[in-house]
Structures are given as structure tokens and as C-alpha cells.
Structure 1
Amino acid sequence: MVAQAIERLSAIADRYDAFLIDQFGVLRDGRGPYPGAAETLARLKDAGKRIIILSNSGKRSAENDRRLVDLGFVSGSWDWFLTSGEVAWQILRREGESTVGARRKCLLISRDGDVSPLTGLDLERTTGGADADFVLLAASEGDVYPLSHYETLLAPAAARGVPCLCTNPDKVMLTKEGTAFGAGRIAELYEELGGTVRWIGKPFADIYVSALEFLGQPDPTRVCAIGDSIEHDIAGAVNAGLHSVLVTTGILERASDEERRQLFAEHGASPDFILPKFIW
């Protein structure tokens, strides 16, 4: 399938009842909102569409929701901000309810000292891999630390066969200074060290199951996912049976058409449409 180039989102909006929209790379980058993104989101909502912001963020939904409003997006211009962190938190809560015995020790890998992925869970936080019962990989500080920092931290856990839950599969992240390795790259490192990883978020099924349940199990062909990552957004949409739009902002902003085509082939996923930026 050859993706159709479109100039504006309004060209295809009437074809769909619901949209799953990525945050970083579509609505904003590491510095702030893209020009026109807030207005476009509001106009899409005003057109009667159901909208889920679908993000590979290790933070929970409510925290991301507040942040988007603080950045100038109109409150109420989306129905739910669903994050991989929220899906993982719900999984851990259910597991905790069925677990009997001592509290499990969790090695949390997050950003800026954030401990919110553990808030409300019956877990004990530990700071090293030597005594952890599992690793929760929520975010990367790849713009602060080299990958070797994480290797030193995680190697003892991997050697002991400790499972890892990665709640942000993105291998590249956008920062104020540009790109850096994301939590997904750290999860790959954990596998290279011999550890096992359960991946939560795009392109994996759990987050799409939650999104489609929230929407009332609509016809998948009437749902469109919009993202900047072929590996995560486009492949995830294809696997879930949804239509998709690739925006050429975000992590592939400098990629050529040929480089994008190579990625379509590599990941076995091609978008239905290509859009220069998220604009109405």
C-alpha cells in the first residue's frame, strides 16, 4: 500500500469517528507545543470526534492530562489521555491484590526523581538491582546519563533473572536539546544483559485494548491513529486493525522519503496517510 499524502487533517476527518493521537512528535516536542496543534485538537473535537491522546509515557494519565493543559491545550478537547504508565499501573494494582506475602521490592527507573508510577501501589522501592523483585522502567534520563550508567544499575538484577516491566517502549525521546535514547533502549539493554522484559505501550496490544474498550469497541476501520513513529504508532495501529496517519514532525523530521519507506518495510507497517504536521 502506498500512503496518500495530505496537507491538512480536515481532508480526512469525516472518514473517522475516533482518533488516537500521539503526544510527543505530534502535539509537542521537548520544548513545547507545535504551532497550531492546540487549535487543531480543539477543532477536531468540535467536529464531534472522540479523541484519546495515546502516549508511551511512564507517568499516569491524570498527570499527563494536567501537563497538557498547562502547556496551553484546551481542557476538554480530548476524551482521555491514556498512557502506557496508566495501563501498567492498573496491571500492577491487580497483581498486588492477588499477591499474598511480603511486599515486593521494585527498582524504579524514572526521570527527575519521579515516583508517581508507584503511588498507591503496595510496593517497596529499592535503589539497586541486587535486592529488587522486579524492575519498573518508566522513563529515561538519556540526556543526562550514558547507557553505561544504566548497565551498571541493572546488571545485578538481570543476572538474578529479575523481570522488568517497561512502561515506555520509545527508543528515542525528544528533549529540549534534541533527541536522546529513550526507556525502550534501556529495556533493550536489559534484554542484552540476559533479563526478560514485558513491554507495555505502543505498538503492543494492551494499550490498544484499553483504548478500544473505552471507545465502546467501535469498528476499527473508523478509528485513526496519528503518530510520528513508524515502529510504535504506525505498527501499533496496523496490528490493532486501525487506520493511521504518519506526521513528518517528531523523530523522523529529518528523514528522507526513502528512509521512511525503508522503515515501513523494516517494521512491516505503512500508514494510510502522510501529513506534514498536525494542522487542521
Structure 2
Amino acid sequence: MKKLFSLLMLVGLAAPVLADEVKVAVAANFTAPMQKIAVEFEKDTGHKALVSTGATGAFYAQIKNGAPFEVFLSADDEAPAKLEAEGVGVKGRRFTYAYGRLVLWSAKPGFVDAKGEVLKKGDFNKLALANPKTAPYGLAALEVMKKLGVQEALQPKIVQGENISQTFQFVSTGNAEVGFVALSQVWQDGVLKSGSAWIVPADQHTPIRQDAILLAKGEGKPAAEALLKYLKSDKAKAVIKSYGYEL
């Protein structure tokens, strides 16, 4: 009995040691689902995800320059592929965790019609979108406007956010009447949370394929390995789908 008690004490003492932390760079569009996933990840595994959010292009530059991230959840597939080719990402440890959807959104109910005709009418002062040089959702927004033939007419009205979070803030505060944001920012469980929106058909722009990759600093680290595995779990996939992403 005494031996059993001692063994249980040792196991109890060892458990916290096994818990680990993982530093994750997360594309701004994936902020809400990642926050939810991080909570469940810690509950289920004991590991903690330390999440930083921002623009994909900015994260790519930071990671190349030695930022201490161990896992990168990008808003595209290009940045992780480049990091893998450059040896900063671990070869063969890249996969697609979601396909993003673009939405034209206004905080005002009834302002955006279901077909996006508001873009052709141009009856607004400011149109927000993320910087297309660093944010894939911003690049997709430009593609949509070009396809609709409205980019030139709308150019004077465009205001750029550093990333999709700042772009959403411009629209949600009314500083821009309308803007291109990530569907995940305004959608949950099949319902638009507020305002009015046009969910841009996927064939209007290059698919927003979002890849995750294990970075060199995270190779062999328990929490980093566990997080990548967890992102492929049914529980994580259910969260991702609930925010409007496709798998």
C-alpha cells in the first residue's frame, strides 16, 4: 500500500512537468476559432498554446528573422511553402487546415445586398480591405473587384487595414461603411452575427487555402507536435467549420 501511494505521488508530481507550451503564429482571420481551439486543446492535452495573431506576410518576415514561433497557421499556402523550402519550416510537416471564405460586410443591416450590387452602385464613402501585399484576404478582395470591373472606380474610396482584424475594426466602428473581411469574423454556426453581408462565391477569387506548418524551433517539442495533431481532430474541425471555413 505504501509503495502504491509513493507511485501515485510520483505520477502526480510528474504530470505538470509533462505539460508544455507552444508558441503559435496565427493569421488574423483565424483568431476567433483559434482562441476556442486553444481552450479545448489545453483541456484535452494539458499543453498550452500561446497565440499571437497578425498578418501572414508580417509573420513570414518575422519567422525568417528568428522570431520564436514553433507553429505557424497561415492565411495562405505560399508562406508556409516558402518557409519549408528555406529550411525554417520542417520538411513534410505542412498541411491545409482550412479554406477561407471572403465576405463583403457592413455593420449596418440592409446595407449590403445578397449579390454584392452595392459595389457597383458605389453609394458609400469608404471601402475597407486588408493590405493585399501582406494579407491573402486583401489580395482576394482585389481579385473580386477586378473581376467585377469596379476596382478603378472604387480605388479612391479604399482604406487598407494592416491585417484582417484591423480591417474588421474599420467596418465595425463605422469608419468604413463596408469592407471585405473574413467570413469567420462575422459568422458562427451558420448565422450572420450582425449587419448585412454578401458571401463572395468561391469562384470569384483564387482559393484561400490556409496551411499550417511545424517550424524548426518546434521540431520534437511535445506541445507543438500535439497542436498540429489536434488541428486534425474532429473536435477542432467542428470548431473550424462553425466559423464558415471549408475543409
TM-score (norm 1): 0.31
Whose Rg is larger? 2
Greater strand content = 2
Q: Which has the higher contact order (CA 8 A, sep 6+)?
A: 2
TM-score (norm 2): 0.34
Greater helix content = 2
